[in-house]
A and B are shown apart, each in its own frame.
Chain A
């Protein structure tokens, strides 16, 4: 039975359809990656699942219950970290834990928080403010805060897009470890095919908007744990990587307007700006060619 289910979901902003007729079904413990271009409605899709916005039509259900608003059963990690700048790492996480688990005692809460800070390897930075952390560390805090409310499903909205390649690779490995050890249900939104192949059980490409929808899912049958370097040798990895990349690039090739316009590239050569200005017609490549022919 599917755990999270979207049926014929459509959403438009001011008349422009963003998503139309989106169908998605995720089983418990599955890691699904949605891959698509920027500005095509990936974040709108995430906000719908999180309950931050309502669909124009269609239904969203989480284990059979309709999604009507945001709730702690779905944990969302944003691309921009969204930490409160005046609270320390510990306090930022405490804020979430306090509101989701009001019954916990002070000591239980502290232990709970420390556990999750340790999980993302930030124990040494517990009392620092967000501005004293690097981008990668801030995103770790954001991940810890979301995990600490123990959501039933984890929603990752391009969590690593703002990070440099090396930091991103490290965080990918950490997310992979955490999700695999807990067997969490995860929806990851990303624009990186490599990231999706490294982490996901299924990859679903998002077509181009307006009125984007989900294309047919692709099952990623690569053995776990997946090692970035070993994957490079795997024929199945290469095949999937080529197939998905090609499919995504194919979407945009279809979008390009076939505007045929007569273009003229005049045959003129740039002038030497270090030499004094001259007043003569521009030099032309065609003339230069003629000269060489004559001299030869």
Chain B
């Protein structure tokens, strides 16, 4: 059977004054229907570029993306995107922001049904009492809730989340992760989240795809996450397997992400380089930001 989403030999090149720069090189990934995938890597490694190409917001330089037997060529409502900042229209209320897309995608339905859809999702994300407020009157976390409701309300085939909780404090982040998981389970969506938070990736995903550092970034390692669902954060945090998985991800980010994988599967990994000192790590991250 064909995978639900198939990314093959995906490349992205940007023109620069010094010639073309290949940011993403030969990226391959297959995603099953209903799967939750987390894509992690250092900032600037090209995670978001891959997501933008799946969303159809950035052109593919080489290779291709097939979503349920159709090649991705442009953006469309079959892929719902949640951005880091929720990008709500400030002169519309939360409800009107959600209705904007709902009115387009469900144009054959009655006004009542469309309103019901928007109200349903806004209430499920916890904005039941605040849905008629404008973004300016909502906290950062509430705005992001609205962004999630907007994406789910269009009933997309696939959900793409680009560091959706990066701007929130740790505790609000955990609340929203639960909101997201709840909706994902309810609607049985296929989802891809880009994040650099190891705990977030492990809590949400069925598989964590680790990307090597850019330029020429590609899939480094893939970790299967088999914790039972629905996931219980407290149980997870006490599970020794959780910490083993966490260590594998941290180890990849700290030590192995600089290497492109050798083509042959499971070849001996190259010797890890000397661990960068604090300041070198800092300046390295600044240079790539």
| Residues of chain A whose beta carbon lies under 8 Å from any beta carbon of chain B | 36-39, 121, 134, 136, 161, 164-167, 170, 173-174, 191-193, 229, 232-233, 238-239, 241-242, 245-246, 248-249, 252, 256-257, 259, 261, 263-266, 268-271, 273-274, 277-283
Contact = CB atoms under 8 A, between A and B. Distances in A.
Nearest to A170: B278
A136 B282 contact: yes
Nearest to A174: B278
B123 A261 contact: yes
A173 B275 CA distance: 15
A191 B154 contact: no
B238 A238 contact: yes
B285 interface: yes
B282 A277 contact: no
Contacts of A283: 108
Given A233-B243, A263-B120, A164 B175 contact: no
A270 B101 CA distance: 10
A161 B123 CA distance: 29
Contacts of B247: 229, 232-233
A46 to B, nearest CB: 16
A161 B61 CA distance: 37
B265 interface: no
Interface in B4-55: 42-43
Interface stretch (B83-91, B111-119, B212-220): B111-119
15 contacts: A39-B139, A164-B285, A166-B285, A167-B285, A229-B254, A232-B247, A238-B237, A242-B234, A242-B237, A245-B237, A249-B233, A266-B116, A268-B108, A270-B106, A283-B108
B109 A266 contact: yes
Interface stretch (B143-151, B164-172, B266-274): B164-172
A167 B170 contact: no
Given A229-B250, A261-B128, A278 B108 contact: yes
A232 B246 contact: yes
Q: Is the interface of B mostly helix, strand, loop or mixed?
A: helix
Contact of A273 (B77, B119, B246): B77
Contact of B120 (A174, A241, A265, A273): A265
A248 B128 contact: no
Given A164-B285, A268-B117, A38 B109 contact: no
Contacts of A166: 42-43, 281-282, 285
Interface of B: 42-43, 76-78, 104-109, 113, 116-117, 119-120, 123-124, 126, 128-129, 139, 154-156, 169-172, 174-175, 196-197, 233-234, 237-238, 243, 246-247, 250, 254, 278-279, 281-282, 285-286, 289
Contacts of A269: 155
Nearest to A229: B250
B97 to A, nearest CB: 17
A264 B121 CA distance: 10
Contacts of B104: 273
Contacts of A164: 43, 285, 289
Kindly list the 8 A-B residue pairs having the minimum CB-CB distance in the complex, ordered from nearest: A242-B237, A266-B113, A191-B169, A270-B105, A282-B108, A282-B109, A170-B278, A246-B234
A245 B174 contact: yes
B113 A274 contact: no
A155 to B, nearest CB: 19
Given A245-B233, A265-B116, A268-B117, A38 B169 contact: yes
Contacts of A264: 116, 120
B129 A257 contact: yes
Contact of A274 (B76, B238, B243): B76
A273 B106 contact: no
A177 to B, nearest CB: 10
Contacts of A174: 278
A239 B286 CA distance: 34
Contacts of A167: 282, 285
B117 A37 contact: no
A279 B109 CA distance: 10
A285 to B, nearest CB: 10
A134 B170 contact: no
Contacts of A170: 278-279, 281-282
Contacts of A248: 171
Given A165-B196, A269-B155, A245 B285 contact: no
Contacts of B155: 269-270
